[in-house]
Amino acid sequence: MTSSAMGNASAIVIDQDIDPRRRKSLVEGDHDFTSITASIANVAERPKPPKAWYVAMAISLPLTLTLFGCIAYLVVKGVGIWGNRQPISWAWPIVNFVFWVGIAHAGTLISAILFLFRQKWRTSINRAAEAMTIFAVVCAGTFPAIHVGRIWMEWFLAPVPNHLEMWPQFRSPLLWDVFAVSTYATVSLLFWYMGMVPDLATFRDRATTKIKKIAYGIFALGWRGSSRQWHRYERAYLLLAALAMPLVLSVHSVVSFDFAVSILPGWHTTIFPPYFVAGAIFSGFAMVVTLMVPARALFGLKHVVTLRHLENMNKVIVATGTMVGYAYAMEFFIAWYSGSQYEQFAFINRALGPYWWAYWIMVSCNVIAPQFFWFKKIRTSPLLMVIVCIFVNIGMWFERFVITVSTLNRDFLPSAWGYFSPTLFDILTLCGSFGLFMTLFLLFCRYLPMVAISEVKSVMPQAHPHHHGDDAHGAGHHAH
């Protein structure tokens, strides 16, 4: 071939690479089905995880033990060990609860809604995001359970017949929470586990020790990969996704009712359900990015969890962050438009009152920080995206703090105004919940398939020999 012909050929290749009409591949590098299985299974199969895994575990385990220690001390001493005082009887525990329920939203959204809309880019991140959902719900459920004061009376929340006629108050949004969050946890757990069955069977078949073979074998439920099993699996997965979709919207709406159905200025607003849902998806996606960037680097999964996946998630963060910013502005507009001096005072107090610092941390982290993702360089840089996402999560925690604490600290009677200061136990309990979340996530990375092997194969070109490009349709699960 002449030099000019070679030049033309290379120009064609370059043109295809930068052609905006062609999307980047969802699996990078020259991989086939076998190498994909090997690279994902290797994370759990290697004799020892990377040293960084041990370092992370050494940090998260003591924090988890601290959480259990704080809860034990709380049961013995009572809620007086926290900073909760009248008029601020709801404080950090409820803030933490709403924060963790928000984190739990990304998993089901990525899995259910993107699955129903046939978004192929969800395949590499859905498994880890679903796992985060389960772990975040575990962390969230801890706080209302210990916030009730008399923990031994918690069974009153359940609608069980009892001779005292102490029936649960079904008009209370706190009871709605019990049903909403427990339903969400159950469906998410089923969805996560069912999606893992084919991959657990792969792990079972590749296991080298008897214990692993038996353990994975029990949870693989006798999966053999027959056509009938794939057919039933796909039908059940679709039904569970359809069930989970309304839950994504309903769960955080019900959580927002804890505030919205009260008569307090600053809480009693109809914007709360959509605003809470947008905020939940916003913080959930930020947490997925925060954890997936180091995980893909540590476990050698950059070819599966590509920059295209991360960039798409960052685009969702920009969209939901803008919605949250719009909600902040709209709250002030409605307070002014309502003509209610109490409502107006509540919002001026948020921005300029004793908790002004928390309000402006919230605005800068949630409204300004995600706007950096408009720049492609930041949107596609792993380090920069993690920094932005950490700010987003800090901002979302402060959002819940501002809504809860700054509304309660100045109520209708100036003589009852107070200032909330967290105690050491408040701080340790929050840090401990992060420890519990991280410990569970690290154990998941070590012993379970972090990425959905069968689903990743379904979006590879080899799964669609009659189609070109990654937009080819068809289940492709039989590639397994």
Model confidence over 264-276: pLDDT tens digits?
888 888 888 888 8
Whether residue 464 is predicted with pLDDT greater than 90 in this model: the reply is: no
C-alpha triplet 149, 152, 158: angle, nearest 5°: 100
Owner of token pair 């259910």: 112
Whether residue 2 is predicted with pLDDT greater than 60 in this model: the reply is: no
Residue 205's nearest CA partner among 426, 449, 408 is 449
Long-range contacts of 307-312 (CB under 8 A, 24+ apart): 307/24, 307/380, 307/382, 308/23, 308/24, 308/25, 308/26, 308/121, 309/26, 309/121, 309/124, 309/125, 310/380, 310/382, 310/385, 311/379, 311/380, 312/121
Which pTM value belongs to this model?
0.86
Three-state SS letters, 103-147 = HCHHHHHHHHHHHHCCCHHHCCCHHHHHHHHHHHHHHHHHHHHHH
The model's pLDDT over 102-143, given as tens digits with 9 standing for 90+, comes to 888 878 888 888 888 887 888 888 888 889 889 999 998 888
Whether residue 435 is predicted with pLDDT greater than 90 in this model: the reply is: yes
The model's pLDDT over 51-60, given as tens digits with 9 standing for 90+, comes to 888 898 999 9
Whether residue 214 is predicted with pLDDT greater than 80 in this model: the reply is: yes
Residue 364's nearest CA partner among 386, 394, 326, 334 is 394
CA distances 360 to 5, 281, 354, 357, 398, Å, are: 60, 21, 12, 5, 9
Confidence of residue 5 (pLDDT cuts 50, 70, 90): very low
Whether residue 230 is predicted with pLDDT greater than 70 in this model: the reply is: yes
Strand partners, 88: 85
Q: In this structure, what token pair is assigned to residue 466?
A: 């009659």
What domains, with CATH codes, occur in the chain? 27-153+167-479 (1.20.1630.10)
For 287-375, list the strands marked E by DSSP: none
Whether residue 100 is predicted with pLDDT greater than 70 in this model: the reply is: yes
Residue 28 has what pLDDT? Answer: 67
Q: Does residue 49 sit in helix, strand or coil?
A: coil
CA distance 84 to 96: 14
Q: Which residue has the higher pLDDT, 46 or 7?
A: 46
Q: What is the mean pLDDT of the chain?
A: 82
The model's pLDDT over 313-326, given as tens digits with 9 standing for 90+, comes to 899 899 999 999 99
Q: Which residue has the higher pLDDT, 183 or 7?
A: 183
The model's pLDDT over 287-311, given as tens digits with 9 standing for 90+, comes to 989 988 988 888 878 888 888 888 8
Residue 463 has what pLDDT? Answer: 63
Confidence of residue 61 (pLDDT cuts 50, 70, 90): very high
Confidence of residue 144 (pLDDT cuts 50, 70, 90): confident
Which of 11-25, 148-162, 224-238 is predicted least confidently?
11-25
Confidence of residue 478 (pLDDT cuts 50, 70, 90): very low
| 318 sits in which H/E element | helix 307-338
CA distance 469 to 23: 8
CA distances 401 to 46, 143, 284, Å, are: 43, 15, 17
- Largest Cα–Cα distance of the chain, in whole Å? 94
CA distances 358 to 336, 354, 393, 396, Å, are: 22, 9, 14, 11
